[in-house]
A and B are shown apart, each in its own frame.
Chain A
C-alpha cells in the first residue's frame, strides 16, 4: 500500500507492541480488548449468579468453591454479603459484561468493516473510550476491598437505600462513580458509532443496503448517546448526596429544610433504564436479523420492515419508562398512557419476529453454531416478550410487581436473548476476528446445553414469581406461603449450576480456537457482506486498501441469475456480475424457468 493512498486523517500503522496491542487506535484491536474484558467480567457476574442460586437452594449452608471469599462467616452467605452479591451480579452483567461484548466488541469490530470504512471516525476517541472503561473496571474491583464492602443497594441503586443513610461506606460510592465513568466511556463509543455510520459508509452503501447488524448497533449508539447522560446525571446527583451532603434524593426526617424525593431517582433511572433494555437487545436483533438470512440462504424477509421496526422500537423505548413505576403512586391516567405505549412496542417487536420466521420459511436452512444460537435467541426472546405483556399491563403488574416473575422476564429478554445473541455473533465473526476456527462440535454442545438450561432457569423463576415469591428475598422460606417453593428453587439452581458448568465448553473452545484453531478461510460462511468478501481473515490493518463500491444489499442469496453466471448462491455486496453475452442471459432465463 502506498503512502499516498492513506487519507490524511487515518493513523499510520503502529509497529511497537504497546502501540499495536495496548494503546491501539485500531478498531479491531479495541474490539478484542473489549471482548476479553467483557468475557472476564461475564465469568465474574456468572459466578455471583451461582452464589445467589446457592443461597436460594441451600440457605445457611457454606458455599462450595466460592466459600473461600467468605472466610469471615465460615463460607456462609450473610444478609449484607447477599445484598452485595445480587447488586454486583446485575451491575457487572449489564455494564461490564453485555455492554462491552455486544457494543464495545461487536460495535467496534463490525461497524467499520461492514460499511466499508478503514476505521472509526475518531480512532483516538475510540482508544480513550476503552481506557475510560478500564478505569471504571478498576473502580468496581476496588469497591470489593473497602470497608463495609461493595455496593448493596440493588442494581437499580434506588434511593434512599443507595444514599449514605441506607448504604454507608465507600463501596457504594465507588460503584456509582464507576457507573458514571463507564457511562462516559459508552458515550464516547456512541459518538464514534453514530458519526462513523453517517459519514464513513463506502460509496454505494446506502442506509437501505447496510447489514441489519449495523442498523441495530447504530440505533443502539443513538440511544446510548441520548440516554446514558441521564444515568450520568442520576449518578452525579447520587454522588453529591453521598459525598457532599446534598439532599436530592433524601426526604422525611433525614431531609432538613424540605429535602428532595427518592422517587426522583426512579424517574431519572428509568428514563435511562428503559432505553437501556433496548440498548441491550437491539444489537442482538441486528446480529440475528443478518445471521438468519445468511444461513437460510434467502434474502431477509421484508428488510425495510425490520429496519422500520427497529427504528420504531428505538423511538418508543424513550417514552415507556413509566411502566417500571406503576406502584409509585403515579397518576392512574399517566399509568394508562405508559401502559398503552408499552403494549404498542410489541407491534414492531412482532414485525421483527415474523420477519425472522418468514425468512426461515422455505429457506435452504443450514444449522451451524451461529444459526443455532440465533434461533435460540429468537426462542428465548419470544418467551421473554410474551411474559412482558403481563408486566406492561397495570392490572396484572399489581400482582406480579417485584416478584421473581419480573426477574424471569427480564432475564429471558436482556440476559438470555442478549447472551445467546452475543454467542451467535462470537461464533459467526470468530474466524474473521482471529483468523482461526473454533471446533464446531463443541460449539453445538455449548449451544444445546446453554439454550436448554438457560430456558429452564428463567422459566423456573417465572413459576416461582407467579406463585408469589418476591425477588431479592434472602431466605424466601421464612414465609410460610413460600415454603413449598424450596424444591422448585432447588431445581432451578441445579439447572443454573449446569448452565454455569457448560460454559467451560465455550472457554476451552475459545482458547483452543484463538491459539490453536485451524486457519480460517476468507469466507467460510459463503456470505456476501464486505468483511467476508473483501478482507482476509483476520483483516489487514486498514481493512480495505481502497474503498469498495457497493452495488447491492447484504443478503443477496439464491438469485437465479447469479447462480447461472457465477455458479454459487451468493454474491458480494461490492461484486458486479461479470459481463456476459446475450446468449448467456437467455440461457440464464431458460435455466430460471426450468
Chain B
C-alpha cells in the first residue's frame, strides 16, 4: 500500500533554498512594517486629536540634524548595496571595505541621534512630562534606534566573516538578507524624518 506513485529525490539546489530564505526575510520585514505602520497610526491619531503640536512651551523638533542623518543612512545603504554587487563578482575584499563603511556610517547615525536626544532633553522635552508630543518623539525614535543597533550588530558580524573570507560569489546569502533588513531600517527612518520631523 505504501508504494504509491512515482518519486523524485529531494535535492533542492542552493539557489532555490536561497530564494526560500529571501522570501522568509521579505515576509518578516512585511510583518515588521505593519508594526511600524501601527506606530505611525498611533502618532497620527494622537497628533490629530491634540490641541497644539508642539505644546506651547515645548521645543519644536529640529529638522537639520535628522536631515543629515537621513543622508547618512542613505549613504550607508548605498555602500552596503555596492558591497553586495562586489561579492556577486567574488570581490570579497571590496565587500569587507563596503561593510566597514556601512558600519561607520551607521555608528555616526547613532551618535548624531544621541546628541539630538541630549539636546532636546536639555530643552525640556522629557519622555514622562511632555505629553503625547514627547511620547511620540521618544517612543518612536528610540524604538527605531534599537533596530539600527541590531542592524549594526548584524553587519559587524558580516564584516568579521567577510574579513575571514567566508563569502564567495556563490555563497553570500547573509549579506543579501542583512542588506534587505538595513534598507528597511533606513526606509523607516526616511518616513520618520518626513512624518515626525518635517511636517
A residues sitting closer than 8 Å to B (CB atoms) are 5-10, 118, 121-122, 125, 187, 190-192, 194-195, 198-200, 203, 225-230, 232-234, 236-237, 240-241, 244-248, 255-261, 264, 267-268, 271, 522-523, 533-534, 544-549, 551, 572, 574-576
CA distance A551 to B11 in the complex (A): 20
Q: Is B153 located at the chain interface by the 8 A CB criterion?
A: no
Docked-complex contact B45 and A261, CB < 8 angstroms: yes
Q: Is B164 located at the chain interface by the 8 A CB criterion?
A: no
Docked-complex contact B24 and A230, CB < 8 angstroms: no
Distance between B172 CB and nearest chain A CB, rounded to angstroms: 16
B residues sitting closer than 8 Å to A (CB atoms) are 1-2, 4-12, 14, 16-17, 19-21, 23-24, 27-28, 30-32, 34-39, 41-42, 45-46, 49-52, 55, 57-58, 127-136, 138-139, 143
Distance between A16 CB and nearest chain B CB, rounded to angstroms: 25
A residues near B58, Cβ cutoff 8 Å: 257
CA distance A523 to B134 in the complex (A): 62
CA distance A58 to B21 in the complex (A): 57
B residues near A233, Cβ cutoff 8 Å: 35-36, 38-39, 42
Docked-complex contact A236 and B55, CB < 8 angstroms: no
- The B interface is mostly helix, strand or loop, or mixed, namely helix
A-B contact pairs, 29 of them (CB 8 A): A5-B9, A5-B11, A7-B10, A8-B12, A118-B10, A190-B31, A199-B19, A199-B23, A226-B30, A229-B32, A232-B35, A236-B39, A245-B129, A247-B131, A248-B42, A248-B139, A256-B131, A257-B58, A257-B130, A258-B51, A260-B132, A267-B41, A268-B38, A268-B42, A271-B38, A522-B1, A522-B2, A574-B4, A574-B5
B residues near A194, Cβ cutoff 8 Å: 27
CA distance A232 to B131 in the complex (A): 22
Distance between A214 CB and nearest chain B CB, rounded to angstroms: 17
Docked-complex contact A575 and B5, CB < 8 angstroms: yes
A residues near B134, Cβ cutoff 8 Å: 246-247, 257
Distance between A21 CB and nearest chain B CB, rounded to angstroms: 25
| Given A248-B46, A264-B46: A546 and B14 interface contact (C-beta under 8 Å) | no
CA distance A186 to B89 in the complex (A): 38
CB nearest neighbor in B for A230 = B38
Docked-complex contact B31 and A546, CB < 8 angstroms: no
Docked-complex contact B23 and A195, CB < 8 angstroms: yes
Distance between B22 CB and nearest chain A CB, rounded to angstroms: 10
Docked-complex contact B131 and A225, CB < 8 angstroms: no
CA distance A295 to B45 in the complex (A): 51
Q: Which of B10, B14, B55 has the most CB of A within 10 A?
A: B10
Docked-complex contact B7 and A248, CB < 8 angstroms: no
CA distance A381 to B108 in the complex (A): 57
Q: Quick one: which of B1, B8, B12, B24 contacts A195, CB cutoff 8 A?
A: B24
CA distance A118 to B12 in the complex (A): 12
CA distance A556 to B32 in the complex (A): 40
15 further A-B contacts with Cβ under 8 Å, apart from A229-B31, A255-B131, A575-B4, are A7-B17, A187-B28, A191-B27, A195-B24, A240-B135, A247-B132, A248-B42, A248-B135, A248-B136, A258-B52, A260-B46, A268-B41, A268-B42, A533-B1, A546-B7
| Given A246-B127, A267-B45: A576 and B6 interface contact (C-beta under 8 Å) | yes
Docked-complex contact B46 and A551, CB < 8 angstroms: no
A residues near B19, Cβ cutoff 8 Å: 199
Distance between B126 CB and nearest chain A CB, rounded to angstroms: 8
CA distance A576 to B49 in the complex (A): 65
Sorted from nearest, which 7 A-B pairs have the closest CB atoms?
A: A245-B128, A257-B131, A229-B35, A233-B38, A246-B135, A575-B4, A574-B5
CA distance A522 to B20 in the complex (A): 32
CA distance A203 to B12 in the complex (A): 12
CA distance A173 to B150 in the complex (A): 24
A residues near B55, Cβ cutoff 8 Å: 257-258
| Given A226-B31, A237-B139, A534-B2: A257 and B20 interface contact (C-beta under 8 Å) | no
Q: Quick one: which of A122, A236, A258 contacts B133, CB cutoff 8 A?
A: A258
A residues near B46, Cβ cutoff 8 Å: 248, 260-261, 264
CA distance A127 to B128 in the complex (A): 38
Docked-complex contact B138 and A226, CB < 8 angstroms: no
CB nearest neighbor in A for B35 = A229
Q: Quick one: which of B4, B20, B36 contacts A200, CB cutoff 8 A?
A: B20
B residues near A533, Cβ cutoff 8 Å: 1-2, 4
Docked-complex contact A7 and B12, CB < 8 angstroms: yes
CA distance A527 to B91 in the complex (A): 55
Docked-complex contact B10 and A546, CB < 8 angstroms: yes
CB nearest neighbor in B for A227 = B34
CA distance A255 to B50 in the complex (A): 11
| Given A257-B129, A261-B45: A548 and B7 interface contact (C-beta under 8 Å) | yes
CA distance A241 to B138 in the complex (A): 12
B residues near A523, Cβ cutoff 8 Å: 1
Docked-complex contact B6 and A549, CB < 8 angstroms: yes
B residues near A122, Cβ cutoff 8 Å: 21, 24
Docked-complex contact B138 and A246, CB < 8 angstroms: yes
B residues near A572, Cβ cutoff 8 Å: 4-5
Docked-complex contact A195 and B38, CB < 8 angstroms: no
| Given A121-B24, A237-B42, A255-B132: A547 and B34 interface contact (C-beta under 8 Å) | no
